Amino acid sequence: MMIVDLIDGDDFRQRLVALGVQLPEGACPETCARLTRRMQREVGVPGLEAEIDALMQQREVMLPSVRRAIEDILQAR
């Protein structure tokens, strides 16, 4: 039996924090995405585009709430 580690809201938040985004503890994926988008527009977030690309390549192991936050907020132009 293969056990797959799903990308959940905590994983998503941790990846964004690792890029330098300040996010409240326990923030939902939508809040994380909105705050990240705001920071990207105001001062930039180096590495964000590459991180989003890497995450989207793993969408089959991503919780729907994380996928929606990325698609609806971070990938929206």
Cα separation values, 23 from 1, 10, 31, 60, 76, Å:
36, 11, 8, 25, 20
Residue 2, in any domain of the structure:
no
Residue 3, in any domain of the structure:
no
Q: At what angle do helices 9-18 and 48-56 cross, to 10 degrees?
A: 150
Residue 72 near residue 15, CB atoms below 8 Å: no
Residue 43, in any domain of the structure:
yes
Residue 66, in any domain of the structure:
yes
Which domain covers residue 33, as residue numbers? Answer: 9-17+26-74
Element (H, E) at 48: helix 48-56
Residue 1, in any domain of the structure:
no
Residue 32, in any domain of the structure:
yes
Residue 4, in any domain of the structure:
no
What's the number of domains the chain is made of? Answer: 1
Question: What does each of the 77 residues of the chain score in pLDDT, given as a tens digit?
Answer: 656 689 999 999 999 999 999 999 999 999 999 999 999 999 999 999 999 999 999 999 999 999 999 999 999 75
pLDDT of residue 2: 58
Residue 61, in any domain of the structure:
yes
Cα 36 to Cα 14: distance, rounded to the nearest angstrom: 12
